Amino acid sequence: MTCPPGRHRPPRIKSGEGNHTGRVSHFKKCPAERPSNLPALPNGRSDVLIAGGGFAGFALAIALRQALGRSFTVTLADPAVGQTGRDIRASAIAAAPRRMFEALGVWDAVANEAQPILDMVITDSRVHDAVRPVFLTFGGEIEPGEPFAHMIENGRLVAALAAKAESAGVALIATAVADFTAETSCLNAALRNGTAMRTKLLVAADGARSRLRERAGIATYGWSYAQSAIVTTVAHERSHQGRAEEHFLPSGPFAILPLRDNRSSIVWTERTEEAERIVALPDDDFHHELEKRFGLRLGDIVVSGPRRAYPLGLWVARSFIADRLALVGDAAHVIHPIAGQGLNMGLRDVAALAEAIVDAVRAGLDPGDAAVLERYQRWRRFDTMTMCVSTDGLNRLFTSPSDAVRLVRDLGLGLVDRFPALKHLFIREAAGLVGEVPKLLRGESLGL
């Protein structure tokens, strides 16, 4: 623990409904005299402390406040709270997480900005091939009127989540969680602004390079792909008609993902050195490289957003839990964006952890109890490993330079294309509706 005694002040709460001054029922069993190298602060307490205000952290904070009411205090700390323009990406939000956003009352705020994906085509070719034969098409709806996914810009969705968290009474603090010590019946956290906080459960939603995961001594396994995804936005002459395209090229997938207003988000995978070279090109040369891959189907194109390369890898935490600590989202697992499932997996963590906590608290149990955390881990582990193996396998299959492998994969795609029942199963899987689906992802509220 790095906070020297005497430097601790009560946390400065940026927003919220005074939930640090009201009754804090879950601390009845957390004795002030318990040995700790942080002083007990009457105002520095929260039933749950969430480190990280990305999709995962905000969604969990809202779910807990809405289900457990005002006497259950939730604090979210992130140095970037209130800064929503940093992420230039857009995400495919599958049907199940969209249902969860609806249950949390967030979807209405972004529905007009979200572009339904009405169908998807998959091709397998080389950059200079004149024709890109379509091997597989996915289309249709999960339920009548419900597309299998929507595209939305990350900044807009995080802004809507932040606004909902604030109105739900989550205490937002614009600083990082720097360190923590778990005790038997509570956890003491030191915040980067020099304040301290005592909680029953610390949730690390602090992203792929999670410092809290490291601090808990939880190792990760996985590897870097030596690939990076170039992300940018283009405006085009013709309408995409809600169609997403994924062109499997030898260096990795080149995805054209539909956004509102005749625009598309590009996720373009290259070897890392090549991605860095392309991102640094002058505008005209960048446009030329992009056009070679984009094709002519949508008419003239204009790069209408910034560009950035994201290094890609597969990383999974060896454990999703430790004493009074749970990892969610990218802090627990990072996968290749080939299937657009990383965030969707993180929201599955959130829905499962929220349900485990809410059930426990309603039964009069401690939200950071080992049994609650074990239930969360059991629920998420198998599903996470399955997704890691599938996305890794897909990436290897489609980047293999062998003509024999190419022939086999194209035959496989063609076969899937001919079996509607198989395609339907894949769509439901991609929509997040297969397996033991937590209530929030079924669109059910956790409220009584």
Ligand X SMILES: Cc1cc2nc3c(=O)[nH]c(=O)nc-3n(C[C@H](O)[C@H](O)[C@H](O)COP(=O)(O)OP(=O)(O)OC[C@H]3O[C@@H](n4cnc5c(N)ncnc54)[C@H](O)[C@@H]3O)c2cc1C
The residue range among 53-61, 116-124, 217-225, 390-398 that interacts with ligand X, by the rule CB under 6 A, is 53-61
C-beta separation of 179 from 302 below 8 A = no
Could you tell me which residues are beta bridge partners of residue 119? Answer: 139, 243
206 interacts with ligand X by CB under 6 A:
yes
Q: Are strands 196-204 and 325-327 parallel, antiparallel or unpaired?
A: parallel
Of 343, 372, 388, 446, the one binding ligand X (CB under 6 A) is 343
Query: Which one of 8-16, 25-33, 84-92, 284-292 is the stretch in contact with ligand X (CB under 6 A)?
Result: 84-92
Name which position in 30, 40, 41, 56 contacts ligand X (CB under 6 A).
Answer: 56
Instruction: State in Å, rounded, how far the first CA of the chain is from the last one.
Output: 39
Name which position in 89, 198, 200, 380 contacts ligand X (CB under 6 A). 89
Length of the chain: 448
Beta strands 177-182 and 187-191: pairing type?
A: antiparallel
Q: Pick from 346, 367, 432, 438 the residue near ligand X by CB under 6 A.
A: 346
Report, in Å, the least distance between residue 78 CB and ligand X. Answer: 4
Could you say which of 3, 44, 55, 168 contacts ligand X (CB under 6 A)?
55
Long-range contacts: 398-404, Cβ < 8 Å, 24+?
A: 398/124, 398/248, 398/252, 398/253, 398/338, 399/227, 399/250, 399/251, 399/252, 401/250
Taking the complex as a whole, how short is the minimal distance between the CB of residue 328 and ligand X, in angstroms?
Answer: 7
Which strand (E) or helix (H) includes residue 38?
none
Q: Is 52 in the site for ligand X (CB under 6 A)?
A: yes
Asked whether position 340 contacts ligand X by CB under 6 A, the answer is: yes
Q: Which of 348, 360, 376, 359 is nearest to 433 (CA)?
A: 348
Which residues within the stretch 254-273 sit at the binding site for ligand X (CB under 6 A)? Answer: 267
205 is an interface residue for ligand X by CB under 6 A = yes
Q: Mark the segment that binds ligand X (CB under 6 A) among 32-40, 74-82, 352-360, 369-377.
A: 74-82
Site size with ligand X, rule: CB under 6 A: 33
The least CB distance from residue 267 to ligand X, in Å, is: 5
CB of 415 to ligand X, least distance (A): 26
Cβ proximity to ligand X, 103 vs 151, nearer residue: 151
Spell out the residues 6+ positions from residue 64 whose beta carbon is closer than 8 angstroms to its own. 48, 72, 74, 354, 357, 358
Stretch that binds ligand X, among 88-96, 112-120, 279-287, 362-370 (CB under 6 A): 88-96
Considering the complex, what minimum distance in angstroms separates the CB of residue 137 from ligand X?
A: 19
DSSP summary character for residue 33: T
Residue from 11, 147, 207, 252 touching ligand X (CB under 6 A): that is: 207
Residue whose structure tokens are 């890609």: 312
- Tell me if residue 242 falls in helix, strand or coil: coil
Q: Which of 176, 202, 290, 388 binds ligand X (CB under 6 A)?
A: 176
Q: Return the H-helix or E-strand segment holding 419.
A: none
Within 8 A by CB and 6+ apart from 298, the residues are 236, 237, 238, 239, 240, 264
- Which DSSP helix (H) or strand (E) runs through 429? helix 420-430
Contact residue for ligand X among 24, 51, 189, 387 (CB under 6 A): 51
Residue of the chain from 30, 159, 177, 278 that contacts ligand X (CB under 6 A): 177
Instruction: Give whole-number Cα distances, 404 to 19, 249, 411, 446, in Å.
Output: 62, 16, 11, 50
Q: Nearest approach, Cβ of 442 to ligand X (angstroms)?
A: 18
Shortest Å distance, C-beta 292 to ligand X: 20
CB atoms within 10 A of CB 363: 8
Q: Which of 169, 432 has the CB closer to ligand X?
A: 432
- Site residues, ligand X (CB under 6 A): 51-57, 77-80, 89, 91-92, 176-177, 205-207, 211, 229, 231, 267, 310, 329-330, 337, 340-344, 346
